[in-house]
């Protein structure tokens, strides 16, 4: 568990990590087995940011560390745990969420912040009818609960809500066909007129601003909360997985450099080449800088969650997303350069580096980091303009 005031984890993080890694096998790289899912679904690592426990929540720095450690084993494994933790931070915004026994047994949650579905008021039940489709729903096949966006019928997209839906109520409409992050099963899912209780619907604008939450009105001085910080939480959970995978690639090439020759040269081992030694040193330093940037992001958010007087400015928020984007792009570049050193055999199908290369490239192209939106938002804020006209993910 976690200490309410300090966020210090009371469970043995290393022991929990070892349980998950021990349950993982090569067969899980395409789709997780039921045995593995049972372990991660009941692991405290899947809900470090659960604010509903009397003992309070852990820290985003803890989540980053866990995802980086799991990412060295498998990027998909770390990605699922990261998404689940970010979804737990969102769950704290729901004051009257209707929980099920399945949610209590399986702590894995899924979330998509893509284009919204549609919500229609159901007068008979005083609830809502949900319809829509969400792509790239990482882990929805494995999760007990799914969070997504939906706009209220007749609002012309102006009234957007966050909905919490039991994952079993959703239907698979398109399989996961991407070349990387295969284990995440980031499929496209759909809701067809699914009945949603009123307590499973919250105003998205209030969540973004931090004005929602089951503890609304309670003094911030007595409670650690990530409400209103969840996009920053999500970004840093995801970079953890990619950082871990990149670290695994670096360690693999360094180990190979001790014995693998340099083709077309007289070098009996790559480590004998001064040029390769310098390049490996440069890449190690570059990865260290990316790691430090991610840790700084996590620390900024952790401080804001724990200090009732802390208010992150718009510039602070877009800078967090901007730094996370640079971490993702930096990892892509590091893995690419490691493959240049290692050689074309690293791209043989099924090779360790080939798998990491696929995972990192797919993960870094998550919608939160791509198409220069994050950088433009930083620039808009720096110029005194309102970046929310471009994106609300900050």
Q: Which domains does the chain have, with CATH numbers?
A: 13-105 (no CATH), 111-203 (2.40.110.10), 230-389 (1.20.140.10)
pLDDT score, position 215: 47
3-state secondary structure (DSSP) of residue 235: helix
| Segment of 50-64, 211-225, 352-366 carrying the highest mean pLDDT | 352-366
Residue 220 and residue 211 in contact, taking contact as beta carbons nearer than 8 Å: no
Q: Is the pLDDT of residue 40 over 80?
A: yes
Model-level pTM? 0.93
Q: Is the pLDDT of residue 216 over 60?
A: no
pLDDT score, position 4: 38
pLDDT score, position 214: 40
Section 82-89 average pLDDT:
95
Helix and strand numbers, DSSP H then E, in the chain? 11, 8
Percent above pLDDT 90 for the chain = 79
Q: Is the pLDDT of residue 3 over 80?
A: no
pLDDT score, position 222: 53
357-394 tens-digit pLDDT? 999 999 999 999 999 999 999 999 999 999 999 998 88
290-322 tens-digit pLDDT? 999 999 999 999 999 998 778 889 999 999 999
Q: Is the pLDDT of residue 2 over 50?
A: no
Question: What end-to-end distance do the CA atoms of the chain give, in Å?
Answer: 28
Bridge partner list, 147: 111, 164
């Amino acid at each position: 568990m976690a200490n309410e005031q300090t966020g210090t984890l009371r469970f043995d993080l290393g022991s929990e990590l070892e349980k998950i890694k021990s349950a993982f096998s090569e067969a899980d790289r395409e789709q997780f087995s039921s045995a593995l899912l049972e372990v991660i679904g009941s692991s405290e690592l899947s809900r470090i940011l659960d604010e509903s426990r009397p003992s309070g929540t852990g820290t985003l720095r803890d989540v980053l560390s866990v995802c980086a450690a799991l990412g060295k084993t498998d990027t998909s494994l770390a990605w699922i745990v990261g998404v689940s933790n970010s979804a737990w931070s969102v769950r704290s915004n729901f004051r009257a969420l209707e929980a099920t026994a399945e949610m209590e047994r399986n702590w894995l949650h899924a979330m998509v912040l893509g284009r919204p579905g549609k919500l229609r008021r159901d007068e008979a039940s005083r609830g809502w009818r949900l319809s829509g489709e969400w792509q790239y729903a990482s882990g929805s096949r494995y999760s007990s609960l799914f969070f997504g966006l939906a706009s209220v019928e007749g609002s012309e997209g102006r009234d957007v809500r966050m909905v919490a839906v039991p994952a079993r109520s959703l239907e698979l409409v398109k399989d996961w066909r991407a070349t990387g992050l295969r284990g995440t099963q980031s499929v496209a899912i759909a809701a067809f007129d699914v009945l949603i209780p009123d307590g499973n619907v919250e105003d998205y604008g209030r969540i973004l601003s931090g004005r929602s939450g089951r503890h609304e009105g309670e003094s911030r001085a007595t409670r650690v909360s990530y409400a209103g910080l969840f996009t920053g939480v999500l970004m840093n959970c995801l970079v953890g997985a990619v950082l871990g995978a990149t670290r695994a690639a670096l360690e693999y090439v360094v180990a190979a450099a001790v014995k693998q020759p340099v083709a077309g040269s007289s070098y009996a081992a790559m480590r004998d080449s001064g040029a390769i030694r310098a390049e490996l040193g440069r890449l190690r330093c570059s990865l260290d800088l990316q790691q430090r940037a991610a840790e700084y992001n996590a620390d900024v958010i952790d401080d804001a969650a724990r200090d009732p007087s802390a208010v992150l400015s718009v510039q602070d928020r877009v800078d967090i997303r901007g730094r996370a984007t640079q971490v993702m792009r930096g990892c892509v570049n590091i893995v690419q350069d490691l493959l240049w050193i290692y050689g074309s055999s690293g791209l043989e199908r099924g090779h360790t580096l080939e798998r990491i290369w696929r995972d990192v490239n797919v993960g870094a192209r998550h919608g939160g980091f791509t198409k220069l939106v994050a950088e433009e938002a930083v620039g808009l804020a720096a110029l005194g303009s309102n970046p929310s006209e471009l994106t609300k993910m900050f």
